Amino acid sequence: LSRRLFMGTVAAAAIAGLTPAFAADPIKLRISTPAVEADWHAKMLPVFKEELEKAAPGQFDVEIHLNGTLFKQGTEPAAMQRGNLEMAMISAFDIAKQIPEWSIFTAGYLLRDPEHQTKVFESDIGKEMYGLVEDKMKIKILSVGYLGTRQLNLRTEKEIKTPADLSGVKLRMPGSDTWLFLGKALGANPLPVAFGEIYTALQTGAIDGQDNPLPTVRAAKFYEVTKQVALTDHLVDAIFLSLAGSTWSKLDDKQKAAVMNAAKAAVRFNNENRIKEEAQLADFFKSQGLKVYKPDVEAFRQQVQKAYLESDLSKSWPKGMVDRVNAIK
Ligand code: KDO
Q: Tell me the residue type at 1.
A: L
CA 282 / ligand 1 centre spacing (Å): 20
**Which long-range contacts link 313-318 to residues 24+ away (Cβ below 8 Å)?**
313/100, 313/103, 313/106, 313/107, 313/178, 313/181, 314/103, 314/104, 314/107, 316/100, 316/101, 316/103, 317/101, 317/103, 317/104, 318/101, 318/104, 318/128
Tell me what the mean pLDDT of segment 118-147 comes to.
98
Residue 34 Cβ inside 6 Å of ligand 1? The answer reads yes
Q: With 50 as the cut, is the pLDDT of residue 1 above it?
A: no
How confident is the model at residue 24, as a pLDDT? 82
What is the CA(34)–ligand 1 centre distance, in A?
A: 7
* Residue 251 scores a pLDDT above 50: yes
Q: Is the CB of residue 33 below 6 angstroms from any atom belonging to ligand 1?
A: yes
Helical pair 114-122 and 253-278, crossing angle rounded to 10 deg: 160
- The answer, yes or no, to whether residue 23 has pLDDT greater than 90, is no
Mean pLDDT, the chain, whole residue set: 94
Q: Is 35 in the pocket of ligand 1 (CB under 6 A)?
A: yes
Strand 189-192 vs strand 209-213: parallel, antiparallel, or unpaired? Answer: unpaired
232: enclosing H helix or E strand = strand 228-244
Q: Of the residues 105, 214, 216, which should be mutated to test ligand 1's pocket, given the most ligand atoms within 8 Å of the CB?
A: 216
pLDDT in tens, 156-200: 999 999 999 999 999 999 999 999 999 999 999 999 999 999 999
39 within ligand 1 shell (Cβ under 6 A): yes
Residue 49 reports pLDDT greater than 70: yes
Residue 178 CB less than 6 A away from ligand 1 = no
Q: How confident is the model at residue 18 (pLDDT cuts 50, 70, 90)?
A: low
Residue 86 pLDDT greater than 50, yes or no = yes
pLDDT digits (tens, 9 = 90+) for 256-292: 999 999 999 999 999 999 999 999 999 999 999 999 9
C-beta of 108 in contact with ligand 1 (< 6 A): no
